[in-house]
Structure 1
Amino acid sequence: MNRRSLCLAAAATALAVPLAGCVTVHGERADIASVRPAEAAEVLANFAKVNNAATKAYDESLIAEVESGALGAIDEAGVRAKHANHPEGNASFTPLAFSDSRFLVPRQRGWPKFFVADTATNRGGDSRWLLVFRRFTAGDPWKASFLAVMAPDALPALATDKDGLVEALPAAGTDLLVQPGRLSTAYTSYLQQAPAAPAFADGPATSELLAGRDKNRRTANSVTQYADQPADGGDFTPVALRTRSGGALVLFASRHQTRATYREGYQLSIDQDTKALMTGTPRTSVTLSRMSQQAATVPARSAGPDAKTAVLSRLAGLVSATGA
């Protein structure tokens, strides 16, 4: 960032205070907006530009320039698999385009900082994308670490201050039913059907997912085992925003593994993308490792004994495979 940009940033945070010269605002100490609206718009536009180039060329190194965390892990693996099968790239690729974008910007002190882009896309339907952008120091590039996709009316109303800034909640010490920093552990414990796991509302990412597992756990040709682990540190650290109801919208990640063992003589059928990510030779078993990213509403503890966490969006992608 040049000196002129720094001065503009300082002026934006200084509000009505007259400036004789450039004033430095220390993001590590001051309680300020995590990003200026104009910069947030530039970050989103750059994300689209680089992501489109990466997807058209199937170049995972470009993905790493603008993505990290759960989203980066999923997209890097997906592009790697596509490149293995189509090294020439994708000539028929339709570029991703954003429209009607708004930015959910929290007031934050210290690092890391984040903001959320809430935007429409040209990827079909009227669903909205929520992209969480984060950086750990002032010199780092903004990278998208989470993506949630949901209907426009599914996004809960967020609490804002007099300046229109949203409220970021810490990982621990909140008044929520589940602490944001523990939500990945709570969710994976629920999927493992641990006796003391917190309750989650029924839906595609919870009760229906478990029902599907029960159906496929044992078939005439295979036995499948499931393992779920939290992913909640570094680039995978969840982010939480206060809702007007007193709860929070939390975006978080998790890891999921399935190991399917097949009967002797069964002819395995494995798609090309899975083969591209596979190590080992799949003779009688296949282990698939997936990364998942979720957006959930977590009620306040005061919401009552029947209150449950609701998963609004779940996007999972294969990141590795092993044959044996």
Structure 2
Amino acid sequence: MRFVRVTLGLPLALVGVVVTLAGAASAFWLVGPDSTVDTGEQRLTSRGLAVATAPNLLDRHGFTLHVTAASSRPVFVGVGHDLDVSSYLGRSAYTRVVRFDLPSDFATQEMKGATGRLNPPTGLDWWLADAAGPGERSAEWETEDGAYDVVVMNADGTPGVDATVTFGVELKGLFGICLVVLGVGLILLFLGVWLLLPRRRQPGATSTPTQQQTTPYAGAGVQYPLVPQAPVSPPPVKPVEAPEEERQPVAPPPVKPVGAPVGKEQPEPDEPEDEPTRRPEPVPGIPPQYQAPAYSPPRLKRVGGLLTGGMLLLTATGCVAIPQQNTSSGPVTRAAVTVADGLVAVQKYNELNNRANQARDAKLSEAIETGPTLAMTRAGYQIGRKTDEAGKDKVKPFTYTQPSIGAPQYGSYPMRFVVASGVSTSPDSKQLGVWERATAGDPWTLKYSVYPSASMKLPPLEGLRTPTKADMSKLASLPQTAAANLAAYLTGGPQSPQAALFTPSPGTDSLLNQRAKDKIADTKKPYIATAIDTFRPSGDPLTFITPNGEALVFLALTEQYLQHIEPGSNAYWTSGPPTAFSSYVKYTQTLHQDYLHQLALVIPAKGQGKIQILSLDGQLVGAGGS
């Protein structure tokens, strides 16, 4: 058994030493109580605008990523979806980290492009984690399944990045696992040393294990060994015959085992009460006191149980700590905006829009408006500066109240979301608008803004989505076709064939009635021969599909109100809004006023009724003649 203990104990001791050292080094040097492994400080530089990781570099999730950056200039460090980061950096020059080998080997690739200053990253709401400022800045993020990038750049968006960066990976329970490894190593080392230590002999054991102990058995005249051995045929012994009268059976005297003290019984070896001892089958012809007991290894069983349990615990805890491989596939999409970020965009618009209105500052409006809304705002400011030079008739400050947000899923830019809200200064109307972000580096701007009546039922915004071909095929009319028919309806008036396709809003009826009155009044003037009113679609409609399958459509129409001048006469603008664009310029052929209108429509499914005009809102944007 000495050989068995050495054979088992020596490997256990050696493995215990290795595991103990590995567990101690991992727990107190590589990891630490925060369960984080980091790369140490690495210097990353770029002549371009940023240093960004490739989307396939973070190919696992289920851990917390820590990124710390320090620079002589205010630095920005952030984590974002690759969909946003790619759009933000766009065609700019930057350095991409394409490979990372533990512990600190980076491989980079220079991405060529423009070096013009980017919009500062700190004003963008799509960062999942970010920090900016002078000195050392840190960001942490619970990794998710998908394509995500880490970006380090100057906080002001200028080129020339030179920063010291540390990447850290925090695995929950990693420090505990290292302690488990350390504990298992100590157990293995202890067991190995315990097996290698010599054992005390049991009382009564012979000094030489290989000696054969025998005792005579008088009844048979043969010596039988106390330890089982291969049967040996005893030599034949011729018994001495006694006289017949003396041949009587005599009981053999009791025989003590060899080596036992005289007058004392051989003590039995100690055995654990809870461990049964296996004994061999009795050998026929040998008295029970000469049968050898079997060896039972209870301590080795316990050693095996401890080893098995420790390895199972180590394996189980280790598997839990391993980050999972990313599995997301197919087109990557996300909601255009969170509800919280959408509310922030509306609040920012309320603040800047009131400031711009008071100053009639079109430059300030460019930060919060775009498309037809910005065009109408610019025209309104121009008219105001002309007709109200004293600044007494400015727009009263207002806010959009209790906004409700519908944010469809997008896989690319531009992204948009829809807002329905009240108007603080007009309880009889609502506001329905579309906010747009052209690229990830741009702010949210209001592109379409209409004002339906407060009594108008608006479609639900929850669950709003961008249309598919299947959605479009189910509609009563395609949005482009609806826009063309609407222009024809407004041009021809209520008597036009296209009027039967629409349910007009109160503002639509009001506009048509006013234009009819203007035509009658203008043609009564001696210098006006005829008046023609023409509407045309402007740009492509924006379409969203509601949960019930209807289409919520936003579009713009241009209107030209054209007056033909009588031959031999001339005409010019002397007062009113048209003077902001043409004042006291005499025309001999025509006069024209140009309007821009924004509309919101609801196109039902086939066979579900007419197209509903939710709102039509216009603004004079030009005037002149020929």
TM-score (norm 1): 0.79
Q: How does 1:253-272 map to 2 (within 5 A)?
A: 253-261=556-564, 270-272=574-576
Residue 50 of structure 1 deviates from its aligned partner by: 1.7
Give the letter for the 1:192 counterpart: T
* Identity score, percent: 22
Q: Secondary structure at the match of 1:41?
A: helix
What is the rounded CA distance, in whole Å, between the counterparts of 2:519 and 2:393 in structure 1?
40
Contact 1:58–1:87 (CA under 8 A) maintained in structure 2: no
| Residue 109 of structure 1, aligned match among 393, 404, 411 | 411
Q: What 5-or-longer segments of structure 2 have no aligned partner?
A: 1-75, 82-124, 130-140, 150-329
Change (3 A) 1:227 1:212: same
Q: Does 1:232 align with 2:539?
A: yes
Would you say the 8 A contact 1:59–1:83 is kept in 2?
A: no
Structure-2 residue corresponding to 1:46: 348
| 98-107 vs 215-224, which moves further | 215-224
Q: Please give the alpha-carbon distance, in whole angstroms, between the structure 2 residues aligned to 1:72 and 1:251.
A: 15
1:130 counterpart = 2:432? yes
Q: Which amino acid aligns with 1:253?
A: A
The alpha-carbon deviation at position 93 of structure 1 amounts to 5.1
Is 1:311 aligned with 2:613? yes
* Residue from 460, 464, 467 that aligns with 1:166: 464
Amino acid corresponding to residue 257 of structure 1 in structure 2: Q
Q: Which residue of 2 aligns with 1:15?
A: none
* Cross-structure match for 1:99: 401
Are the equivalent residues in 2 in contact too, given 1:252–1:293 (CA < 8 A)? yes
Cα displacement (A) at 1:183: 3.1
Cα gap change, 1:93/1:208 in structure 2, threshold over 3 Å: closer, same or farther?
Answer: closer
Give the letter aligned to residue 293 of structure 1: Q
- Residues 177 and 300, structure 1, Cα contact 8 Å, conserved in 2: yes
Structure-to-structure mapping, 1:75-86, within 5 angstroms: 75-86=377-388
1:93–1:209 distance in 2 versus 1, CA, 3 Å:
closer
Summarize the Cα distance change of 1:199–1:98 in structure 2 as closer, same or farther, 3 Å threshold: closer
Q: 1:24 to 1:52 in 2, by over 3 A?
A: farther
Q: SS state of the match for residue 524, structure 2?
A: coil
Match of 2:597 in 1: 292
SS in 1 for 2:332: coil
Paired residue type of 1:252: L
Quote how far apart the aligned CAs of 1:52 are: 1.1
Measured on the aligned residues, the alpha-carbon RMSD in Å equals 3.5
Alignment size in residue pairs: 306
Asked if 1:321 is matched to 2:614, the reply is no
Aligned position for 1:179:
478
**Which residue in the other structure is 1:62 paired with?**
364
Q: 2:582 pairs with 252, 265, 278, which one?
A: 278
C-alpha separation in 1, matches of 2:618 and 2:342: 26
Structure number with the bigger relative contact order (C-alpha 8 A, sep ≥ 6) is 1
- Indicate how the Cα distance of structure 1 residues 200 and 98 shifts in structure 2: closer, same or farther if over 3 A, else same: closer
Deviations 1:45-103 (Å, cap 9, x if unpaired)? 12122211111011122222211111111111111221244466558653222321221
Equivalent residues of 2:570, 2:586 under 8 A apart: no
Q: Distance in 2 between matches of 1:5 and 1:95?
A: 38
> TM-score under structure 2 normalisation?
0.44
Does the CA-based 8 Å contact 1:290-1:316 persist in structure 2?
Answer: yes
Cα offset, 1:216, TM superposition:
3.9
Aligned partner of residue 78 in structure 1, secondary structure: helix
